Amino acid sequence: MFNELTPGIGVLANHKGKVVYQDMLGLANCEHEIPIGPDTVFKLTSVSKQFTGMAILQLMERGELRADDRLTKFVPELRHYADEVTVYQLAHHSAGLTDYNDLLWQKARQHALHSDNAEVLGLLSKQDRLRFTPGSRFEYSNSNYVMLAIIIERITWLSLREYLKQHIFGVTGMDDSTVFNEEQPVVPRRAYGYELSGGLWKCHYADTLATGTTNVLSSLRDMQKWDDALYGEQLLGRKTSSTLFAPGLDSSGHPLSEFWGGYSYGWMLQERCDAQTLWHTGGDAGFRSIIVRFYEQEFSVILLCNASCLEWPQTYAYIEQLYKEFH
């Protein structure tokens, strides 16, 4: 699928803090023929949610936020219909908020390149009902994590980009990483996303500037640092960290589950290769990304791609092959 003259892919397998496998193929920027390297900065797409989840847990650990706090305590703009929604339900996709992508399509954006959190909030504030009773079931919605980003910003008086820089990226030495928001910062070594259409590669520059749900930019090198940090107490105490390994519960105390298993603060929970994993995928604007953490074995695979044609079934099989060969 990929070669030295197409968009491509970078893969890293991390075992107990050591790179046991690494491979890169293709171009980060096809126009200038810049090859992909371990420090190439990719858009993480929905893999970004785990950083928002970490920020929320940090605020909880510091006593600035509670899981049962109401969304409208911080976002009163939605009080007319979402007064029962909690932070916990947002983090576990059981809040009932309509996905903002659906609302953007309804708005007929006429090929506008981006939306930001203010626009997402504006669209949600014009709704008059939730899709279901909060806490009654699981439904993945990008709006949930935009609301979490807004909560973080309103509590800390920092943009999500600045919060993550101070409390996650700066702490772990993730110097390649940032949040791409409405300020549109210049990002060194940034890859561009591509889509294969009619046999030709088409470049995507951006399709949203919303944060919390997407738009963390990072490299393979930095994502290894992120993976390593999750095993210690650099970012979060062990008691709070244990929250990541517990699938979300509905309002009756039963696990919220989807076909993959459970969900918790930006991570999917599932058994793969007879091992417990935390994982997440992402895809938009010509990018595809996935991280799978076989955490009991301290083995992880990180895959970043700047082409929308990546096939997920083959990708999962490839990751399982790496696990069996290198862990």
Task: Report pLDDT for 107.
Answer: 61
Give 9-326's CATH code, choosing from 3.30.1280.10, 3.30.420.40, 3.40.50.2300, 3.40.710.10.
3.40.710.10
User: Cα–Cα distance between 324 and 161 in angstroms, integer?
Assistant: 37
- When pLDDT is cut at 50, 70 and 90, the band that residue 106 belongs to is low
Domain boundaries, the chain: 9-326
| Average pLDDT over every residue of 186-215 | 90
Backbone angles phi, psi at 310, to 5 degrees: -60, 135
Mean pLDDT of the chain: 94
Q: Can you tell me whether residue 102 is helix, strand or coil? A: helix
- In the sheet with 178-179, reading across from the earlier edge strand, the strands are 42-43, 216-218, 178-179
Mean pLDDT along residues 64-93: 98
Cα distance between residue 266 and residue 244, in whole Å: 9
Q: Would residue 49 be called left, alpha or beta, if left means φ above 0 and alpha means ψ between -120 and 50 degrees?
A: alpha
Per-residue model confidence (pLDDT) at position 111: 47
Q: Where are the beta strands (DSSP E) in 26-141?
A: 27-29, 34-35, 42-43
Residue reference for tokens 């009773």: 133
| pLDDT at residue 108 greater than cutoff 60 | no
- Among 8-12, 76-80, 178-182, 201-205, whose mean pLDDT is lowest? 201-205
pLDDT at residue 185, rounded to an integer: 84
